[in-house]
Amino acid sequence: MMVVKKASEVTKQDVKEEGARGVTVQWLIDSETGAENFAMRKFTLERGGYTPLHAHDWEHEVYVLSGKGIVTIGDNDFTLEEEKVAYVPPNISHQFRNIGNEDFIFLCIIPLKGGK
């Protein structure tokens, strides 16, 4: 079990969910790391990329590392850039979109019931 690692060494997985385009995810901390309560993932949305517009019964806690995007939460759009923080409550439709010219990169923490 690795307790300390470099994010860039964690495998990038394509997000193949319907409605996603140009999205990869790295599971930085999850049950394989020993975590029992919540998982830390790093998302990279390439130029023009977006996550599905969907809702589910778990929350997201998001911290933006770089790039420029928009998150839709319910009926509202919010611009996102470095140092922005977003809380997406459970059961609210949401979508992340890259609106910049570079990769849009953010951390997204979820309870483990929402992941692997």
In this structure, the number of other CB atoms found within 10 A of the CB of residue 26 comes to 17
Report if residue 45 touches a copy of itself, rule: CB under 8 A.
Answer: no
Report residue 61 as tokens. Answer: 């806690």
Single residue of 22, 52, 100, 111 touching a copy of itself by CB under 8 A: 111
Q: Report how far residue 53's alpha carbon sits from residue 36's, in angstroms, rounded to the nearest whole number.
A: 27
Binding range to a copy of itself, per CB under 8 A, among 15-23, 48-56, 85-93, 96-104 = 85-93
Nearer to a copy of itself, 20 or 86 (CB): 86
Q: Report how far residue 54's alpha carbon sits from residue 108's, in angstroms, rounded to the nearest whole number.
A: 15
State the number of binding residues for a copy of itself (CB under 8 A).
35
Instruction: Tell which residue, 38, 50, 25, 37, has the closest CA to residue 107.
Output: 25
**Binding residues for a copy of itself (CB under 8 A):** 3-8, 10, 28-29, 33-38, 40, 59, 61, 63, 65, 71, 73, 76, 78, 80, 83-89, 107, 109, 111
